[in-house]
Structure 1
Amino acid sequence: MTLAIPVLLVPANLTKHFKVTLDNAGWRDKTKLITRYTQILVRAGGPHESCQHAGYDLTLYMAMALLPIGAFSMLPSPSAENRDPTSLWTLIQDPSSPISSLEWPSMLTDPEVLKSIFMVGMDPSAFTTPKHLLVQTPLEKLQQSTEAFLTPYLQSWSTSDEQSADTGHLSLNTLPRLIASLPQKWEHYSTFTLLPPAAFLIEPWPTVLKRLENLDQVQGHRNAIMAQWEKLVQEALQSSHIACKAIIPVQDVLRRPKIRPLTGDWKIHNKHKSWFEDDHGLLEHQHVEPAIHDSVEQVKQTDLYDENNVPTEDDFKDAYWAETCQNHVWYSWAPMFTMFSAGNITEKERIANSRPIFDARGKIVVDLYVGIGYFSLVYLVHAGAKTVHACEWNPWSVKGLVRGAEKNDIEWKQYQSRISGSSSIDQPFTEGKKRIPIAGKKPKEYGNLVIYPGDNAQWIEFFENRAHHVNLGLIPSAEPGWVLGVRALSPTEGGYLHVHHNIRVGEEETFKEYLLESLRGLFMKWKPCKKTSAHGDEAWSIDIRHMESVKSFAPMVFHYVVDVECRPPQFIRPIKTHSTG
């Protein structure tokens, strides 16, 4: 006997409410259209002799196909003896029915309404599947694959004597809760997916997964139960490496994440793979506090640098590296040690299309907090910068920046840490491979990337008085770097400071006043103008040209970028000429 799919028969005026309720619960089979019941009957072999049932005219009803979850999967196929629909009110009164646990909106709780809604088992072939729905979404595939995988185990456990208060009672009635609590959203990058922190940690998921793991161990892993489960999730989410994320500590200048790997080969970090919450730390390098120092000796005397914890090339090789491409720019990072900020894509696009706002073509850019190159790579690939001087504390981010530069075919060189040797400007550096022209292909004409690892204050002499743009991309505040930004700007041309800062709602104007006042003081100290009269010096022109909201950072707090144009008094703006073609 073939099994039927459960179908809800709903009056047309209630279709919308039921659709929202069932979609939120993850119960509706979205690969099948909501169709008039009479059309379903015709496809099933002709209309029923009567479309009247319990005094209701079913010709006015819509049919919604449900996923065969739990007890629904036991519905027999429709037959001459089993064609009459069952009232939804009747099913709700039965505590063993999965649908009895569904939370209905207020407009659907009236008993008279529920008595006018019916469920019937229908042959799947009665529904036509539209071509555009033949391909399931990852979430739909995850839901259906999970249901098929867990059903035999839940059936077995429901009749088992192993149930206890500690592990909880598991049965087919548990399945709707499991499906409903699957993660609904995630971050996907090429072959790497990052799930929300609570993914698979909402009961009864920990109980079910622990039961599967114990069963796998008892069987000596001969059936590879957990391996099958991991493969199922990988195929549904189309990723080889899947992990759960946690909140990145704001006080950590290295912006190091704390994630829990679930699937995939994480090399030396496979020991951290777990489907269960664990309090052990995942970070394996030193803690770093933000600071600015005047000398190499001061840095050596702090805990900012630990020679025993600096990663080696072997460490980099023994870590998993993720990749993604945004707006034709490739990025690379090690998820165990560095983050990828998906929320700043609007700022990347703004830089890529910045010519009408601040033209960076042929200009010198200093990025004081480059990370893995979120903005620096965009300046080179899209904005036409001549050279980008990039500073970064985190050695894992520096390695990601190098990998990203090579992936984008950008020439680069990286200086050695100032801590390990002389402070001479002739310090040795490592260079990337030169671009090799490909026959028949126009070579990419990107600018150069110069990388400075460690404290950005120790490298100021390398780019002081050279920059036309300075990116200060540290949040919650880049204020420690404002002085370096002022020192980096060209004294003859000036340029733009792109200041990132987290600002509470309602405090935007206060921050802008504070920023302008602070910058005026810094320019007076580091770039004083010549005295022109007895009344004093000429001053730099410092004006806020734009304030961009990048993303929400916390409740009532937003990440902003403030474009501050800074020009010396002798600066003469170039005259723009327009071709009349």
Structure 2
Amino acid sequence: MPPEENVSSGSIALIVPQRLVKTVKDGLHEIGSLDKRNKIHRLESDDPRVAVDNDPTSSSEISMFIIPTTWVVDDSSSEACRAQKIKILHSMGLQEHAQLISYHIQPISTKQQTKPVQGKNKFGHIIDQWLLSLPSNLSAVLVEKAISTQHWSYNIYPPLLLFPSSGFARDPWAALLTVDFQPYREKLFISVCEAFKVTHIALNGAIPANSANTNTNILRSPTRLTPLYGDFGPDLAQPPTYEPTAADFKSAFWCSTTQNGIYQTWAPRYTMFSKGNLSEKARVLNLRSLTRDGLDGLSPKEISAVDLYAGIGYFAFSYAKAGVGKVLCWEINRWSVEGLRRGATKNGWICKVVEGESKQQSLGTGRNSVREYSDIQEQLVVFKEDNERAAERLDEIRAKIPPVRHVNCGFLPSSSTSWKTAVQLLDGRQGGWIHAHENVNVKDLQKRKHEVLETFTTLVNTRWPTSNGLHVSCVHLEIVKSYGPGISHCVFDIAVLAP
């Protein structure tokens, strides 16, 4: 027998329920932390490696899978490993699944350690080499805390590497952005770009709830993005102050990602991207109410879905991939509309952008203005306007499209201003489902569920004063992600159906 290899350290592997395997795998791949040297495999029921923090294998009906990561641990105590697990989930925006996901430590042999370490350690190695090239008076500023880079979180959206705001903006690394480091900073960023095969680097701050003028940030503009390396385009004002032109779209820097097999693209200087919606996009893609069984024998192609806050296609693309016949979108941010159009084309879906109309005048005078729009051949139709007149628009074309069975209200902190419109959009004969997004205190989830149900019941009864046989119920409450201390982003699935 060959001699047994010495084990000097270990990496964390996540133990994941079968329904979350693809979500976690895609999330790890997105943040550069999926260990591709080891295969994902089923956890046997008698495997002794399951950690003590929770035991998701207690039910024989649940299939669990081991997903290897590149996160290396020096302290194998349960407290340290549990904290590391939470960090990994937080980096992917999946911390709400912490109780369903466990871990074990995979030994790293001395033979394995001769290979380059991927993922979280790669940036730390680049920093280490760069520090050695600095004059001693400058390296002294950073070297003491260099180890802190070993587990920095980041996201790669080709060709962009995006650090959280806690990265270079935090001491002692904030010194990198000062004049003293300017001659050396470009060398570091060039090395990072070469190692990660990207062309641009930026810091990403949180999307503020309110913009600088205290008005609600309806456009969800990335006002705190800090470009570090590469040309991100000019600092343009957002619509309606400035309407981007075709030349602006052509010259802007665009990045992309693929989640659940769906391509999405956006211009990070002008449009936000929420990676934390990964699990909800996967859920929408696999809703039972988008199957023949859930649609009483109809195929998804025989229905329509509406996304009232489409963005770059977060949920609209899930409906399209699920095979929904017509997906109608409303979006007011011109940059998001362009991203949605580009993404749809890349995914192979025919998409038409329709100019909207203000209450005073039409914003479009060409063939694609609302007043002249009558050709419903495309799978995706994007109305470039506020959704407050969506019901009116739909009434103009309702006879030409399949019945609307799904309406997504994906706006935070609350989509409540669109709920009346959502009810008006549903097919009056067959009914359907409304997906209402809300930020809710975790202590008030059931209370808020009851309030949401009461509100929709009132709206349905108001729309149809005489009984049409439709019953209102909340068939599911999905906790998507943490939105802050004690606050969860939730989705209430409201069914308006015949009992």
- TM-score normalised by L of structure 1: 0.59
Verify: 1:409 aligned to 2:342, yes or no.
Answer: no
User: Looking at CA atoms only, which structure, 1 or 2, has the larger radius of gyration?
Assistant: 1
Verify: 1:312 aligned to 2:249, yes or no.
Answer: no
Where in structure 2 are the equivalents of 1:135-154 lying within 5 Å? 135-154=116-135
Number of the residue aligned with 2:219 = 254
Identity of aligned residues (%): 30
Give per-residue Cα distances to partners, 1:71-94, cap 9 Å, x unaligned: xxxxxxxxxxxxxxxxxxxxxxxx
Verify: 1:345 aligned to 2:289, yes or no.
Answer: no
Cα pair distance change 1:131/1:541, threshold 3 Å: same
Q: Distance in 1 between matches of 2:349 and 2:164?
A: 34
Q: CA deviation at 1:430?
A: 11
Q: Distance in 2 between matches of 1:153 and 1:470?
A: 56
Check the 8 A contact 2:131/2:139 in 1, yes or no: no
Number of the residue aligned with 1:278 = none
Number of the residue aligned with 1:479 = 416
Verify: 1:378 aligned to 2:318, yes or no.
Answer: yes
Cα pair distance change 1:182/1:205, threshold 3 Å: farther
Cα pair distance change 1:492/1:132, threshold 3 Å: farther
Check the 8 A contact 1:551/1:559 in 2, yes or no: yes
Q: 1:519 aligns with which of 433, 456, 471?
A: 456
Give per-residue Cα distances to partners, 1:271-308, cap 9 Å, x unaligned: xxxxxxxxxxxx6225xxxxxxxxxxxxxxxxxx44xx
Q: Distance in 1 between matches of 2:459 and 2:142?
A: 64
Higher relative contact order (CA 8 A, sep 6+): 2
Number of the residue aligned with 1:230 = 189
Cα pair distance change 1:153/1:253, threshold 3 Å: same
Number of the residue aligned with 2:362 = 421
Number of the residue aligned with 2:204 = 245
Q: Distance in 2 between matches of 1:538 and 1:266?
A: 54
Verify: 1:502 aligned to 2:451, yes or no.
Answer: no
Check the 8 A contact 2:356/2:370 in 1, yes or no: no
Given residue 171 of structure 2, which amino acid in structure 1 is its aligned partner?
E
Q: Distance in 1 between matches of 2:375 and 2:131?
A: 53
Q: CA deviation at 1:512?
A: 1.8
Cα pair distance change 1:427/1:340, threshold 3 Å: same
Given residue 132 of structure 2, which amino acid in structure 1 is its aligned partner?
T
Give per-residue Cα distances to partners, 1:479-511, cap 9 Å, x unaligned: 000000010011111111111111111212221
Q: Distance in 2 between matches of 1:176 and 1:538?
A: 71
Q: Match of 1:460, SS?
A: helix
Give per-residue Cα distances to partners, 1:110-153, cap 9 Å, x unaligned: xxxxxxxxxxxxxxxxxx95257513224433222222222242
Number of the residue aligned with 2:15 = none
Given residue 551 of structure 1, which amino acid in structure 2 is its aligned partner?
K
Verify: 1:450 aligned to 2:450, yes or no.
Answer: no
Check the 8 A contact 2:168/2:176 in 1, yes or no: no
Root-mean-square deviation over aligned CA pairs: 3.3
Q: 1:329 aligns with which of 262, 276, 281?
A: 262
Q: Match of 1:393, SS?
A: coil
Number of the residue aligned with 1:398 = 337
Q: Match of 1:338, SS?
A: coil
Q: CA deviation at 1:428?
A: 4.1
Given residue 344 of structure 2, which amino acid in structure 1 is its aligned partner?
A
- Structure 2 gaps of 5+ residues are 1-5, 13-74, 78-108, 210-215
Cα pair distance change 1:496/1:209, threshold 3 Å: closer
Check the 8 A contact 1:248/1:256 in 2, yes or no: yes
Cα pair distance change 1:430/1:565, threshold 3 Å: closer
- Structure 1 gaps of 5+ residues are 1-11, 20-102, 106-127, 158-169, 217-224, 270-282, 287-304, 435-446, 530-536, 574-581
Q: Distance in 1 between matches of 2:221 and 2:345?
A: 23
Give per-residue Cα distances to partners, 1:411-442, cap 9 Å, x unaligned: 1111112135289986246999x9xxxxxxxx
Verify: 1:198 aligned to 2:152, yes or no.
Answer: no
Number of the residue aligned with 1:563 = 493
Q: Match of 2:206, SS?
A: coil
Q: Match of 1:268, SS?
A: coil
